[in-house]
Amino acid sequence: MAPSDTRHPHTRGYGMASARSRERLIERLAATGTFDPRVLEAMKAVPRHEFVDEAMASRAYDDSALPIGHGQTISQPTIVAEMTTLAIAGMEDTTVSDQVLEIGTGSGYQAAVLAELGASVVTMERVEPLYRLSRARLARLGYRRVEARLASQDVVGLPSRAPFKHIVVTAGADHFPTELFEQLADGGCMILPLAAEGGQRLYRIRRDGHTAVREVHDAVSFVPLIQS
Ligand code: SAH
């Protein structure tokens, strides 16, 4: 694979320095030994500094969530690595396109990481200015496998395109999102932050007929998912 800065010819200034700090961040994530190496390769290819405001670019390779406006945040790299590792565990071969529905486009970063893995992504955002910005950004960076859509104010997800084998929710649900569960294919998986006793936790939920098989993972802290 060619270095990301030649693959993304439109990236702003900050070129070589960002490539080095990105590599260091990925090395630190790799050192934990908990993430799928394919996910780390994908994250190495995505210029995270392009997904935040220019004033924030120098902090893009800190392992922290950053504000993206409208009270929303781009997730912490560790959490992106964890969610993506959980998401691709269910994909037989990530080099062939496997469709993923993402709820909460935000900056578009998580969608770009999934696209680097070979998935085709439908990503939904409820806040219109964020939707516009991330849609333009993903197009500028050449992420043709990502379809960014403005979410309806009344429905969570995209029932007209269901069922999806994979759903990744990057906003925290305060109750089980039945409407999204119904958009999962039988045998498919949904990764989401969900309120639990003692705080929000990351869950992987597999659909087995009408049954939701739940697996609980780490404690997380996401901005709220707007549910109906
Ligand atoms: N994945 C993003 C971070 C998401 S922040 C990234 O990589 O940058 C969570 C986003 O979910 C916010 O932008 C918020 O507006 C959006 N959101 C909340 N509820 C939603 C809903 N019901 N449908 C679509 N987007 C929603």
Residue 165 has pLDDT above 80, yes or no: yes
User: What is the rounded average pLDDT of the residues 146-171?
Assistant: 96
For residue 17, the model assigns a pLDDT of 79
| Rounded-to-integer distance, Cα 110 and Cα 101, Å | 11
Q: Report DSSP letters for 164-228, one per residue.
A: EEEEEE-SBBSS--HHHHTTEEEEEEEEEEEEETTEEEEEEEEEETTEEEEEEEEE---PBP---
Residue 7 has pLDDT above 90, yes or no: no
Q: Report DSSP letters for 100-153, one per residue.
A: EEEE--TTSHHHHHHHHTT-EEEEEESSHHHHHHHHHHHHHTT-TTEEEEEPPS
Query: Each residue of 23-67: pLDDT tens digit?
Result: 999 999 999 999 999 999 999 999 999 999 999 999 999 999 999
User: How many angstroms separate the alpha carbon of residue 210 from the centre of ligand 1?
Assistant: 26
Report the atom number in ligand 1 closest to the C-alpha of 134: 8
Q: Ligand 1 pocket test: pick from 53, 128, 223 the residue with the most ligand atoms within 8 Å of its Cβ.
A: 223
| 216 lies in some domain | yes
For residue 176, the model assigns a pLDDT of 97
| 67 lies in some domain | yes
Catalytic annotation, residues? 75
Q: Ligand 1 pocket test: pick from 170, 202, 221 the residue with the most ligand atoms within 8 Å of its Cβ.
A: 170
| 225 lies in some domain | no
CATH number for 150: 3.40.50.150
Number of domains in the chain: 1
Query: Each residue of 194-211: pLDDT tens digit?
Result: 999 999 999 999 999 999
Residue span of the structural domain in which 122 resides: 15-220
| 32 lies in some domain | yes
| 204 lies in some domain | yes
